[in-house]
Amino acid sequence: MPTTTDPAKPQRLELILREIDSLPTLPTIAARVLMLTSSEDSHIREVVDLISADPPLTAKILSLCRRADRGVRGGETLTVEKAVVLLGFTAVRNAVLSIKMFELYGPNASPYEQSGSEEPDRTVPRGQYRFDRTNFWRHSLAVAVASELIAAAHPQLPDLRPSEAFVCGLLHDVGKLALSYVLPKAFSRVIELAELHQTNIAALERRIMGLDHHTVGKRLAEQWQLPQVIQDCIWLHGAPFQTLPSVEHRRVIGLVGLADLVARYQHIGYSGNFTFKDKPEAVAEAMGLRPSVVQSITRELHGRLYEQSQLLGLDEEPSQELFFQSIQQANLALGRLNDMLEARTRAAADQTRILDAINAFHAQTPPNGTLQDVFDALVASAQSVFGQGYYALLYQPLSGTADAKTPSGRQWLMCQYGQRGRPVRTQWVEPPVHSPELSGLDPEQAVSVRLMGVLPWLTDYLLDSQDIRDVQLMPLRCGLGTVALILHDRPILPPWRQLQALTVTWASAIATAAKHDGAKRLSEELADSNRALAEAQDRLLHTQSMARLGEMAAGAAHEMNNPLAVISGRAQLLSMALPPGSKEHKAAQVIFEQSHRLSDLITLLRMFADPPRPQKKATDLSALLDATVKRVQAGLARPEQAKAITLKIKDQLPPATIDPLQIGDAIAELLLNAIQSSPKSSVHVTAQRDESVPGVVVQVSDDGQGMDPHTLSHATDPFFSAQPAGRRVGMGLARVERFAAAHGGKLELRSTPGVGTVATLTIPLDS
Amino acid sequence: MTSAEHSDLRTKQIFTTGEAAEICKLSQQTIIRCFDSGRLRGFRVPGSRFRRIPREGLIRFMRENDIPIDALENTKPRILIVDDDEQIVDLLVDVFKRDQRFEVKTATTGYDAGVLSEQFRPDLMILDYMLPDINGNVVCKTVRENPNLSNMKIIIISGVVNQEEIASLLRAGADEFFKKPFNIEKLLARITELLHL
């Protein structure tokens, strides 16, 4: 179809305008009549003369006069002069104009034959779409009459003069005439298309010929030197009133547009236009006229039109018939409109169904659902739209998202569903080596193609009950390309245009779920590594604080042990000088002892923070336990305390590679701790193998005072003591834990206040 | 005989025949005769005929011949105390003063310790591990590399206890390690042991 982008357009426009220039001019008589006004008697005289000079015109005017039945009695001789008086100047003038224009451009006129110019083939093609000149004139006349009627209904508006309105209405579409003469073939094509698409003619004229009847008509009006108001009506009557330039006769232009609309609403004649932008009442209101005027003039329109047609000899149809014809045409138009509407309704119903399916699918898809959730919802949705049957989904994980479940990135996930949307089998399928990626399956392929032709290898994977020849394939595409494939055994599907919205929705849901899955996995991994990081930080912090404690203890050892050495040495010197047994001697002894105790504490602290590496060697644990218990017992102040300790070695303990000093100290600390809890009756030490480590578990349990949760949680902190000040150095359990850790073992404490404490030391046989 | 000469004789390990004569209150000729007959054990300086008598040989000779060995025996063992903490130094000085068996000199830096080791020729050095200018192990090593000081005993005392460090000190040539605060009696006992007193 040619468009306005035709490069030859300017030349063509020029050609058309030249052609218009060559159109026959307005008949002299009509031109002269047009110039005359009723204000002067001389003008009336001139009109009479003009009419009298044209016998057929005279006959028509007189006939008009008789039909008008303006006080003309039978037999009375009617003269042109009398007729002018009877009919009035303007009526006669308008009649003359109409008759002359009709003669020139009416159905039987052939200006070129008259002018004898040699023109290319201008014969209008035979066929349906001829420019119906009779009906065109009928339209023009109807607009003229309507314009006159509207103007007459508004005597209070001086700018609306009925006679002027009539002329403007009569000539408003003269551009169409011109086009039909200059470019008959193109114009009939315009008419054909306007009818086919039920659209308005001006846009098609511009598209096909490069200019519309408004412009051509204006050019013609200029050539004919018609008054400015008529020129503007021809040019601008198609424009909405609001957009008209603010010229003096603005309302007249609007009036012609309104009359045009009224005539078209009444389906009188042929205008080439099929759509209505506005209702006449709304247009009237916009112009500042009473909306009711539309109704009142419509009632009058048919009668007046009949009169005028008679005058012009347009046809002999009585007004009633004309009216019926109008109704018929209106019916025809209505029928066409109905057909169109029905087609649209059908499309809308289909679209609604698809839309409902999309809504239902969205409702069924759980938010943040997994890919499998989306598959299930998708198949349910497909069943509701296409009907129940076999369905399967094929999905290839996006490359780059290495899924633990798929051994190689090339595999496709295939989920097959039974008759009722029940998932039957989900498996990974392996495409043949050279088959394309799923996303690369040609997206231009039809809606549904036979699986056989595209992925025949899938037959191996189909459910046994399924024949590959029945299975069709539908690609699900969204912006990312083909996301997945639906397999189904439905023979008939809704038209693709409507399906697309649904399949795009499905595809987007899959893509979203896939992304969501990936994001979820990522965030889980992130959380894992965050946890690991936090733990590492904790350990680092612990190590750092231990290292700082170690440095501090080392510094303290150096700085504090020097003065302690002086205190200890001076006390010792003092005690040597003092008489043995004296109070002073004893005091000096105490000073000496206490300074060493303080020094031991510093040493412990330092060893705790920076423990010496275990000096491991093969050790008989049973012997070590035995010796340790004896050592502790020997150091206890009261014999009953020593008696309370019992040792029971359950199994034959295997030799362990440990630092006997550290482990011995650890066990001793546990024993001392138990003794200090004031056991009611006993401290049990048991030792047994633990094959799970493998190692040895030494358990020290007492029935002493026990520890509350707060004490328990701080039991292994250095210097922590739940006891009032003055008890034994609170380093014991801290040392046990350090020694156990140095051997890859651990210390666990369970305690109930008032019941007792169980300390469990696990030592691997060989760390 | 000046006290300086006396002091020199007491620290000497090797004596000439003249010095031995003076110590034993005998004529040089007698010493030479005893040397040559083998009753006084000694050696001749390589490449010459000069006789030299080691301290041990002289003492045995004097004991065998009932010559009073006051001039040698009365010389107390010399102890050098090296510590940057003056209180520690004072304490140890008091300890040895009370004991009366030792002649004591003190130093507060590694450098002073080195100088005094050469001059004073201590039989034993009590060395603080952490000195302002130098660490104990370096002092140990230096002493052990000097043949003149090869007999000197070294006891290291330190407030910092680290088994690995102690092991490396002992390897560097220290004879004993004491942790501060130390038991005076144990320290004296060990010193007596090391000096064969």
Last residue of a domain, one of B73, B97, B112: B73
- A596 at interface of B, judged by CB pairs closer than 8 A: yes
**Nearest-CA residue of chain A relative to B164?**
A612
Of B92, B160, B163, the CB nearest to A558: B160
> Is B88 in the same domain as B174?
yes
Alpha-carbon distance B94 to A290, whole Å? 134
Q: Write down the pLDDT at residue A709.
A: 83
Q: Mean of the pLDDT values across residues A74-97?
A: 69
pLDDT in tens, A459-484: 778 877 777 778 888 888 777 678 88
Partners of A564 on chain B (C-beta within 8 Å) are 159, 180-181
pLDDT at A6 over 70: no
Give A718→chain B minimum CA distance, Å. 19
Tell me the count of A-B CB pairs closer than 8 A.
Answer: 68
> Is B28 in the same domain as B114?
no
> Is B50 in the same domain as B104?
no
pLDDT at A128 over 60: no
Flag if A564 and B179 touch (Cβ within 8 Å).
no
**Nearest-CA residue of chain A relative to B89?**
A566
Of the two residues B101 and A320, the one the predictor is more confident about is B101
Flag if A564 and B181 touch (Cβ within 8 Å).
yes
Express the helix, strand and coil content of chain A in percent, nearest 5 each.
Answer: 60, 10, 30
* Least trusted range by pLDDT, from A80-89, A127-136, B152-161: A127-136
Give A699→chain B minimum CA distance, Å. 30
Q: Quote ipTM for the complex.
A: 0.70
> Is B93 in the same domain as B179?
yes
Alpha-carbon distance A45 to A92, whole Å? 12
**Nearest-CA residue of chain A relative to B158?**
A558
Please calculate the CA angle A395-A399-A402 and round it to the nearest 5 degrees: 95
Flag if B181 and A560 touch (Cβ within 8 Å).
no
Flag if A554 and B160 touch (Cβ within 8 Å).
yes
Give A632→chain B minimum CA distance, Å. 25
Domain with B64, as residue range(s), is 3-73
Give B34→chain A minimum CA distance, Å. 49
Of the two residues B64 and A330, the one the predictor is more confident about is B64
pLDDT in tens, A684-734: 899 888 888 788 899 999 988 888 888 887 777 776 665 554 345 567 788
> Is B148 in the same domain as B57?
no
Give B180→chain A minimum CA distance, Å. 5
Give A677→chain B minimum CA distance, Å. 32
Instruction: Report DSSP state, residue A6.
Output: -
Partners of B88 on chain A (C-beta within 8 Å) are 562, 565-566, 569
> Is B85 in the same domain as B40?
no
**Nearest-CA residue of chain A relative to B83?**
A562
> Is B90 in the same domain as B172?
yes
The CATH number of residue B174's host domain is 3.40.50.2300
Of B91, B162, B179, the CB nearest to A566: B91
- Give percent of chain A above pLDDT 70: 79
Q: Write down the pLDDT at residue A365.
A: 80
Q: Mean of the pLDDT values across residues A487-498?
A: 76
Partners of B131 on chain A (C-beta within 8 Å) are none
pLDDT at A541 over 70: yes
Domains in chain A, ordered, with CATH? 1-21+120-316 (1.10.3210.10), 23-116 (no CATH), 361-507 (3.30.450), 617-764 (3.30.565.10)
In 3D, which of A177, A136, A24, A36 has the Cα closest to residue A94?
Answer: A36
3-state secondary structure of B7: helix
- Tokens of residue A483, six digits: 């996301």
* Least trusted range by pLDDT, from A121-130, A309-318, B47-56, B83-92: A121-130
> Is B84 in the same domain as B164?
yes
pLDDT in tens, A344-361: 887 787 788 888 888 888
Of B163, B164, B180, the CB nearest to A564: B180
- Tokens of residue B105, six digits: 């000199």
- Scored b (16 or more CB within 10 A) or e, B84-105 reads bbeebbbbbbebbeeeeebbbb
Average pLDDT score, chain A: 77
Q: Write down the pLDDT at residue A113.
A: 38
Most B CBs within 10 A among A559, A561, A613, hence the mutation to make, goes to: A561
Alpha-carbon distance A698 to A747, whole Å? 10
Partners of A612 on chain B (C-beta within 8 Å) are 162-164
* Least trusted range by pLDDT, from A116-125, A539-548, B115-124: A116-125
pLDDT at A74 over 90: no
Question: Where does B21-179 show beta strands of DSSP type E?
Answer: 43-44, 51-54, 78-82, 103-107, 124-128, 153-158, 176-179
- A612 at interface of B, judged by CB pairs closer than 8 A: yes
> Is B27 in the same domain as B123?
no
In 3D, which of A20, A32, A75 has the Cα closest to residue A57?
Answer: A32
pLDDT at A529 over 80: yes
The CATH number of residue B32's host domain is 1.10.1660.10
- Tokens of residue A475, six digits: 């690609």
* Least trusted range by pLDDT, from A16-30, A49-63, B97-111, B161-175: A16-30
Of A569, A573, A576, the CB nearest to B181: A569
> Is B185 in the same domain as B131?
yes
- A550 at interface of B, judged by CB pairs closer than 8 A: no
- pLDDT tens-place values along chain B, 197 residues long: 433 344 456 667 888 898 888 888 888 999 999 999 988 888 988 888 899 998 888 888 888 888 887 667 657 889 999 998 899 999 999 999 998 889 899 999 888 888 888 888 899 999 988 888 888 778 888 888 888 788 899 999 988 767 777 888 888 888 999 988 999 999 999 999 998 87
Partners of B98 on chain A (C-beta within 8 Å) are 573, 576
Of B130, B163, B184, the CB nearest to A558: B130
Domain count across chain B = 2
pLDDT at A173 over 80: yes
Confidence class of residue A9 from pLDDT cuts 50, 70 and 90?
low
**Nearest-CA residue of chain A relative to B87?**
A566
**For the packed helices A201-209 and A213-223, what is the interaxial angle rounded to 10 degrees?**
80
Confidence class of residue A68 from pLDDT cuts 50, 70 and 90?
low
3-state secondary structure of A132: coil
Q: Write down the pLDDT at residue A362.
A: 84
Of the two residues A516 and A76, the one the predictor is more confident about is A516
> Is B87 in the same domain as B151?
yes
Please calculate the CA angle A362-A364-A369 and round it to the nearest 5 degrees: 90
Flag if B160 and A573 touch (Cβ within 8 Å).
no
pLDDT at A120 over 80: no
Last residue of a domain, one of B73, B97, B115: B73
Flag if B88 and A561 touch (Cβ within 8 Å).
no
- A552 at interface of B, judged by CB pairs closer than 8 A: no
> Is B116 in the same domain as B184?
yes
Flag if A566 and B185 touch (Cβ within 8 Å).
no
- A603 at interface of B, judged by CB pairs closer than 8 A: yes
Most B CBs within 10 A among A552, A567, A572, hence the mutation to make, goes to: A572
pTM above the 0.80 mark? no
